Amino acid sequence: MQLPIDPTETAAPAGSDLLGERALSKLRWRCRRGLLENDIYIETFFQKFAATLTVSQGQALSDLMELSDNDLLDLHLARKPLAQVEPALDRSDVHEVLSMLRNR
């Protein structure tokens, strides 16, 4: 089940598209995975990028969480291209987040 990012939960400053605390908390909860390897990638991602995560990036990450654990791990490890795993996710915002996830 996809949980779209609620724009009312973005950060307070006008014109800012950063995720607010509540949306970020919901996204972290949504990102819990069954494979330890995925959890490690995702936790590292949040440690590095949580403070600067935008609504668009948060939505892309949420979309990636729709994948199975094995497909997600294949993407982390670049064993398969995104277009092969899920063509509907072959978008620039998802590629950006995938690159951030791989940037350890």
Domain ranges of the chain: 17-102
Q: Is 54 helix (H, G, I), strand (E, B) or coil?
A: strand
Q: Report d(CA 15, CA 64) in Å as an integer.
A: 26
Q: Is 43 helix (H, G, I), strand (E, B) or coil?
A: helix
Is 60 exceeded by the pLDDT of residue 39?
yes
- Residue 103: the pLDDT is 84
> Which contacts of 22-26 are long-range, i.e. CB under 8 A and separated by 24 or more positions?
23/55, 23/58, 24/50, 24/53, 24/58
Is 70 exceeded by the pLDDT of residue 102?
yes
- Residue 12: the pLDDT is 43
For the domain covering 17-102, report its CATH number: 1.10.150.250
Does pTM top 0.95 for this prediction?
no
78 residue type, one letter: A
Q: Is 10 helix (H, G, I), strand (E, B) or coil?
A: strand
Q: Tens of pLDDT along 49-101?
A: 999 999 999 999 999 999 999 999 999 999 999 999 999 999 999 999 999 99
Is 60 exceeded by the pLDDT of residue 24?
yes
Is 80 exceeded by the pLDDT of residue 36?
yes
